[in-house]
Homo-oligomer: A and B are copies of this chain.
Amino acid sequence: MNYQQILDEIYKEAKVFKGQGELASYIPELARVDPLKYGIHLATIEGAEFAVGDSQEPFSIQSISKVLSLALVLPLIGEMLWERVGVEPSGNPFNSIVQLEYENGIPRNPFLNAGALVMADILISRFDDPKREFLQFVRRLAGNETIQYDEEVAASEKATGYVNASLINMMKSYGNINNEIDSVLDFYYHQCSIAMSCQDLARAFLVFADEGCIYGEDTRILKKAQVKRINALMQTCGFYDEAGEFSFRVGLPGKSGVGGGIVAVHPKCYSVAVWSPKLNKKGNSVLGMKTLELLTTKSGTSIF
């Protein structure tokens, strides 16, 4: 498979979609990003890497961070996690707080904001300096010591995060948050603010393609069953209420963020990250989805 040739083709063909979609507007800092940025990076488990466009420029990974958080939490507490967070798709974004009420403060899955807040609560309970631990973990996964939180993005999100505050208070009323609300939110906004490039993300997500082994190391940090669980969750819950559409068009487990990034994993084969900031109405990168659709079509690597 000549992945570089495929990426080059896609880069040309997909350009026509550059104008479509809108920048995320609810976080002021994100609205200032250059909307024409576009990069792709693909890393195989054999160690080959392929890239095109703005693939080395860091951007705000936002919800993509939830997968990394899950990869840190799951080995820590194991299956007990599922007593506090579910593993099923949620159906509808508007349902989030409704479901929290009906289901006694247990979020449907770890990729909903509510679910990620529970994972943040767990990390705070476990670590003396959870922000430092999380950053170190991400740096190690990506093999890049320069990865940083973006304090401006974190502050910007915190200042307008009323829905998240509503969710976490509801969960706290059901006893599913153990730490101070402000400290959990602070951690969560930092986690989401991490700036990574497509190269960083593709390398970091190799851990899910390569059965738990870290990029550039010989170490396995996740059991096979844990990798399977995380990939299955990305497949069914990774794209807000577009999980079904993404499954069809791309046919790989993946996760998107409102910063315009999408990462996808072809188990036992490769991981790929794409970045283009303009989003469709469901909050997923227009060009990013198109890129991955072309990639699996051209390479015949959809799992379906």
**Which residues of A pack against B, CB within 8 Å?**
86-92, 94-95, 97-99, 101-102, 108-109, 162-163, 165-167, 169-170, 172-173, 181, 227-229, 231-233, 235-237, 241-245, 247-248, 251, 253, 267, 302-304
A244–B163 CA distance with the chains assembled, in angstroms: 26
Which of B88, B94, B101, B169 makes the CB contact (< 8 A) with A245? B88
A-B contact pairs, 16 of them (CB 8 A): A88-B244, A89-B236, A89-B244, A92-B99, A97-B97, A162-B173, A162-B181, A163-B170, A166-B166, A166-B167, A166-B170, A228-B248, A228-B302, A232-B248, A235-B236, A235-B304
- Taking a contact as CB atoms under 8 Å apart, the answer to whether B244 and A87 are in contact is yes
Number of chain copies forming the complex = 4
- For residue A211, give the distance in angstroms from its CB to the closest CB of chain B: 10
Known A91-B92, A236-B235, A267-B304; judge A97-B248 contact (CB<8 A): no
Scoring A88, A91, A228 by chain B CB atoms within 10 A of each residue's CB, the highest score goes to A88
Q: Which residues does chain B contribute within 8 Å of A302, judged by CB atoms?
A: 228
Q: Which residues does chain B contribute within 8 Å of A232, judged by CB atoms?
A: 244, 247-248, 251, 304
